[in-house]
Structure 1
Amino acid sequence: MTGMIFSGFGGQGILTTGMIAAEAGMKLGMHVTWYPSYGSQMRGGTANCSVKLDTKDIASPYVKEIDILCAMNAASVDKFQGHMRPGALLLVDAGAVPESHPMREDVQVVRVPVAEIANECENPKGANLVMLGAIAAHTDLFEVETLAKLVDEFFAKKGKTNPKNKLCLLAGAKCE
Structure 2
Amino acid sequence: MKEEIIIAGFGGQGVLSMGKILAYSGVMQNQEVTWMPSYGPEMRGGTANVIVILSDKRISSPIVQEFDTAIILNQQSLDKFEKHVKPGGVLLYDPNGITRHPQRKDINIYKVEAAEEAARINSAQSFNMIVFGAYLKIKPVVLIENVVKGLKKSLPERHHNLIPQNEEAIKRGMAIIQSVHTV
Normalised to the residue count of structure 1, the TM-score between the two structures is 0.90
> Deviation at 1:102?
4.2
In the other structure, the counterpart of 1:122 is 122
Give distance in 2, aligned partners of 1:84 and 1:6: 12
Give per-residue Cα distances to partners, 1:49-87, cap 9 Å, x unaligned: 000011111121112220111100111111111111111
Whether the aligned pair in 2 keeps the contact of 1:5 and 1:68 (CA below 8 Å) is yes
Tell me which stretches of 4 or more aligned residues in structure 1 moved more than 6 Å. Answer: none
Task: Give 5+ residue unaligned stretches, structure 2.
Answer: 178-183
The 3-state SS of whatever aligns with 1:164 is: helix
Structure 1 residues 61 and 43: CA distance shift in structure 2, 3 A: same
In the other structure, the counterpart of 2:34 is 33
1:150 aligns with 2:149: yes
In the other structure, the counterpart of 1:56 is 57
Structure 1 residues 165 and 124: CA distance shift in structure 2, 3 A: same
In the other structure, the counterpart of 2:137 is 137
In the other structure, the counterpart of 2:46 is 45
1:112 partner letter = V
Whether the aligned pair in 2 keeps the contact of 1:121 and 1:168 (CA below 8 Å) is no
Aligned residues: 174
Whether the aligned pair in 2 keeps the contact of 1:86 and 1:107 (CA below 8 Å) is yes
Give distance in 1, aligned partners of 2:140 and 2:25: 13
The structure, 1 or 2, with the larger RCO (C-alpha pairs under 8 Å, 6+ apart) is 2
2:120 partner letter = E
Whether the aligned pair in 1 keeps the contact of 2:26 and 2:146 (CA below 8 Å) is no
The 3-state SS of whatever aligns with 2:4 is: strand
> Deviation at 1:117?
1.5
1:19 partner letter = K
Moved more, 111-120 or 11-20: 111-120
Structure 1 residues 152 and 37: CA distance shift in structure 2, 3 A: closer
Give distance in 2, aligned partners of 1:102 and 1:135: 17
- 1:62-141 matched pairs, under 5 angstroms: 62-98=63-99, 100-141=100-141
Whether the aligned pair in 1 keeps the contact of 2:29 and 2:146 (CA below 8 Å) is no
Give distance in 2, aligned partners of 1:47 and 1:140: 24
Moved more, 12-21 or 133-142: 133-142
The 3-state SS of whatever aligns with 1:159 is: helix
> Deviation at 1:110?
0.7
Normalised to the residue count of structure 2, the TM-score between the two structures is 0.87
Give per-residue Cα distances to partners, 1:141-173, cap 9 Å, x unaligned: 1234542x2365246534223242222111001
